[in-house]
Structure 1
Amino acid sequence: MKEWTKLIKYRNRMYLMSNKIVVPLIVYLLFTYISYKEKPQFYIPDVMVSSISVGYIMFWISFTFFENEDIVAERVLYCNIQQNKLRYYGSKIATLLLISAVLSFIGAAYPFLVNAVNGFELFKTSITFTDFCCSFVIHMLMSCIFVAVSYLFQPRNIFNRRHVILLMVIIVVISLGGKGIISKYEMAKYVLLVFPPVGAIIDCFYGLEYFTVKSMLSASLYAVIYSVIVFAIGIFVVDKKDF
């Protein structure tokens, strides 16, 4: 456990020292602030928008995280940990998920703070600590999905930043508009399985005023299965190039 902690601290320190997190963090904080300027609002739809924004910001952060890596330093590190691939790749994922947890906490807690400041009149329904917990989980699920996708699009696989941005835009549009595409082209549902299940997760909460056990389990299932598969593919591809 100590070895894992040291690795995660090392990766966090190296990334934070690069200051590459500053711009995406500012963008996220500004977006979060603007999102809750109007009232009254519907809580669950706002959580969905906020969680998607965290996912996209985490893709941005993950890309700069991998971009910041020095190949020589990474090879030395790999040798220093006795070529333990689980610790090597796992520490990267753990570091990014730790950052995700911080952003997710902000995304889940900020509306509660604003709601209190506004005399508990920001939302059309009352919100509880359970809602906070569910919101945090949803933010983490979205973050996990896009951290996994970033593993495929990191600079070692795609060198041109413009190509990454273009691919990300395409993924965003298709993952959100998948339902409409399927309604016109039924066979497209098989192709869309490779895209992040953002639309499917949103559908789990469609029309709800409160979180339910069924909706949370369904969303978690979509996110976990997709993330595990994409992480596995991403690690396999990078591992073949690195070692």
Structure 2
Amino acid sequence: MKNLLRYHFKVYLKSNKLLLPFLIYLIYLFTAYSIMPYAIVSSFSESAGVIFFIMTFVGFSYSELENPVTEQLVLLKVQNDNLYYLSRIIVLAIVGVIMSVIGILYPVIGNIYNHAHLFTRSLILSDIVFGFVLHCTMGLLGALTGSLFHPRIIKNRKIAILMVFFTAVLAIAKGALINEIPSMDFVTWVFPPVYDILVTLTGCEFFSLQALVMPFLWGLIYGTVLITMQLHFLKKNKF
């Protein structure tokens, strides 16, 4: 597994496709936290939502990186399809964690620099812990969503781009869609539970484990389903 992760990271870093997502996120953080004071829960929720969008792009672009011939050669050497594809998912998860660390450290450092005046109240340890978990959850959901539209799963790349964009938007905006068309509630559950998680934090002054445990559990279940689907389709749709 270690060698696979090293290989995937080497391929990814050489592509330079990782630079733009991080740059976009840093620009967002700089812009968002230039206004103060900011409510902690709402700012972390917004930041996590942005990570979902960015990691969806990361997952989608990452799925197009590897050359099919090279992939076949590596699979022949590894002789374990599940291990190979899971190592790719782990790489995306690590990228999401790194981005989440940046998303939490930036406001924490900014708060120290501004003499604890960046937020509307004092920043406490539970804010950092829950905020980090929230960012990681959104990042993983985004990465899994984007990577599901793999070239071997959706061969028409123009359609794949439209589908991944549509899915990412509805993951955030499905609450507004349900309000306009209540009957859509029967359909929108198939989209990533980003709205379902973030809506539990609307209007909250503090993070609450009791309020977040079910949404996070739903996110974990949904992520597991995405991983299972991806492994199934990639092994089914051969080169």
TM-score by length of 1: 0.92
> Which secondary structure state, in structure 2, belongs to the residue aligned with residue 157 of structure 1?
coil
Match for residue 90 of structure 2 among 77, 90, 94? 94
Match for residue 202 of structure 2 among 178, 199, 206? 206
Distance in 1 of aligned mates of 2:206 and 2:130: 10
Residue aligning to 2:16:
19
> Which secondary structure state, in structure 1, belongs to the residue aligned with residue 96 of structure 2?
helix
Residue aligning to 1:125:
121
Distance in 1 of aligned mates of 2:124 and 2:183: 42
> Which secondary structure state, in structure 2, belongs to the residue aligned with residue 122 of structure 1?
coil
Aligned-pair distance for 1:160?
4.6
Residue aligning to 1:74:
71
Whichever residue aligns with residue 89 of structure 1, its letter is: Y
Aligned-pair distance for 1:139?
0.6
1:106-132 deviation digits (Å, cap 9, x = unpaired) = 001111011111110010011122211
Aligned-pair distance for 1:179?
2.1
> Which secondary structure state, in structure 2, belongs to the residue aligned with residue 40 of structure 1?
coil
Aligned-pair distance for 1:35?
1.0
Distance in 2 of aligned mates of 1:86 and 1:170: 28
Residue aligning to 2:134:
138
Residue aligning to 2:56:
59
Whichever residue aligns with residue 191 of structure 1, its letter is: V
> Which secondary structure state, in structure 2, belongs to the residue aligned with residue 202 of structure 1?
helix
Residue 113 (structure 1) aligned with residue 97 (structure 2): no
1:89-115 deviation digits (Å, cap 9, x = unpaired) = 110111110111100100011110111
The answer to whether the 8 A contact 2:56-2:147 is kept is no
> Which secondary structure state, in structure 1, belongs to the residue aligned with residue 94 of structure 2?
helix
The answer to whether the 8 A contact 2:56-2:168 is kept is no
Match for residue 233 of structure 1 among 222, 229, 236? 229
> Which secondary structure state, in structure 2, belongs to the residue aligned with residue 8 of structure 1?
helix
TM-score by length of 2: 0.94
1:154-187 deviation digits (Å, cap 9, x = unpaired) = 2223345443332233223322222232234333
Residue aligning to 1:8:
5
Residue 37 (structure 1) aligned with residue 34 (structure 2): yes
Instruction: Output the aligned Cα RMSD.
Output: 1.6
Aligned length: 239
Residue aligning to 1:174:
170
Aligned-pair distance for 1:52?
1.2
**TM-aligned CA distance change 1:162 to 1:118, over 3 Å:** farther
> Which secondary structure state, in structure 1, belongs to the residue aligned with residue 9 of structure 2?
helix
Distance in 2 of aligned mates of 1:5 and 1:215: 37
Aligned-pair distance for 1:148?
1.5
Whichever residue aligns with residue 37 of structure 2, its letter is: P
Match for residue 212 of structure 2 among 210, 216, 220? 216
5+ residue gaps in structure 1?
none
Whichever residue aligns with residue 3 of structure 2, its letter is: K
Distance in 2 of aligned mates of 1:17 and 1:135: 31
The answer to whether the 8 A contact 2:62-2:147 is kept is no
The answer to whether the 8 A contact 1:149-1:231 is kept is no
Distance in 1 of aligned mates of 2:113 and 2:159: 43
Bigger shift: residues 90-99 or 215-224: 215-224
> Which secondary structure state, in structure 2, belongs to the residue aligned with residue 149 of structure 1?
helix
1:33-68 deviation digits (Å, cap 9, x = unpaired) = 111000111111111111111111111112221211
Distance in 2 of aligned mates of 1:177 and 1:101: 24
Distance in 1 of aligned mates of 2:12 and 2:56: 15
**TM-aligned CA distance change 1:23 to 1:161, over 3 Å:** farther
